[in-house]
Chains A and B, each alone.
Chain A
Amino acid sequence: MGHSNWAEWIYVAVVIALLVYVGAEAWNIENLIEHTPQDAEIIKVTAQQWFWSFEHEDGTKEVGEIHLKKDHAYKFEITSKDVNHNFNIPEFVVLMDAVPGRINTVWFSPNQAGEFDIQCREYCGLIHYNMRAKLIVEDV
């Protein structure tokens, strides 16, 4: 090995530094995201082939659509009745698997009023591609 490889050492150090930064930043942000606020209203989300149904805290049920209020915190308790699905509201970066036999939670607070798409993000069979619902956020 008759050549110097200081360049390689510096390169590796730079790469590691970048990765440490990414890791630390990700850790920080995830920590913040995972803290569900105390006053979040619980919405039960049930996924099944091939539609979504929702239940509010007061027992109101909705199928295929859900009405929520702007700037309120909501915690989704998500489960499935048959196979794996994934509850996804892309415009609010809500994403969590719906696994049968298990309840997964994710929270959000919609900061915009309007109509948004809900879609399934885990392959679940014949009509996975059309397993959609509507989120309607009302200004209150």
Chain B
Amino acid sequence: MSEHDETIWRTSSGRVGKMMAILGGTVIVGAIIFFALGDYWISELSPAGKTFAGITDEEDAPTVTQTGEDIPITLDFIESKDFRTLAFNALPGEPGNNPTINANVGDRIIFNILNAGKSFHAFGVTSNEEGFGGILSGTDVAAANNPLKPGDGGTSEFIPGEPGTYYYICTVPGHREMGMVGTIIVE
């Protein structure tokens, strides 16, 4: 079978080089664009997930300008030893548990948030009476699907434009029901 001792070339090296350059170039450019969009590692929920969580694209009430005073408050996420009771600052029954904030319309409440627990948490203010949705824009620190790790913290602020009762909560599903909720009474 010596007629086949000659190697059979399927294509030329020039062509191969061009094809590799095109394919490789596409991959590299695509990767740069992709990773430049940043923070993709733990990222958004799917559209169905957002619907489920009650997160919609427009939530934004018109931005309210501050006409009152600053109210800074420190809120630490804490957990009971068995992880079944969660709270801000102190466990239920102890002084300082889930402090109620009183404010006037136009005041700026500045939240200093720290995850002092061992689990994951995230922060937000909502007017919803239950659940983890309806977070008002600008009030969020981290999010349920990109939460604060133990020791992490952040700040956010809330300028109420309407009087009423608002709630500051941990936005990780279930944590509000387990105790991580406090009231903001705005007059």
- Seen from chain A, the residues whose Cβ lies within 8 Å of a Cβ on chain B are 48-51, 53, 63-65, 82, 126-127, 130, 132-134
Instruction: Please indicate the chain B residues that have their CB under 8 angstroms from the CB of A130 in the complex.
Output: 83, 119
Instruction: Please indicate the chain B residues that have their CB under 8 angstroms from the CB of A48 in the complex.
Output: 173-174
Given A127-B119, A127-B120, residue A64 in contact with residue B84 (CB < 8 A): yes
Given A130-B83, A133-B84, residue A63 in contact with residue B120 (CB < 8 A): no
Q: How far is the CB of A109 from chain B (nearest CB, A)?
A: 25
Please classify the interface of chain B as helix (H, G, I), strand (E, B), loop, or mixed, using the class held by over half of its residues. loop
**Are B84 and A50 within 8 A (Cβ)?**
no
User: For chain B, which range describes its interface: under 10, 10 to 19, 20 to 34, or 35 or more residues?
Assistant: 10 to 19
Instruction: Please indicate the chain A residues that have their CB under 8 angstroms from the CB of B52 in the complex.
Output: 82
Q: Among B147, B173, B177, which residue has its beta carbon within 8 angstroms of that of A63? A: B177
Residue B178 lies at the interface, judged by CB distance under 8 Å to chain A = yes
Q: Among B82, B83, B84, B120, which residue has its beta carbon within 8 angstroms of that of A126? A: B120
Q: What is the bound-complex CA distance between A49 and B177, given in angstroms? A: 11
Instruction: Please indicate the chain B residues that have their CB under 8 angstroms from the CB of A134 in the complex.
Output: 82, 84
10 tightest A-B contacts by CB?
Answer: A64-B84, A49-B173, A51-B174, A48-B174, A49-B174, A50-B174, A51-B178, A130-B83, A126-B120, A48-B173
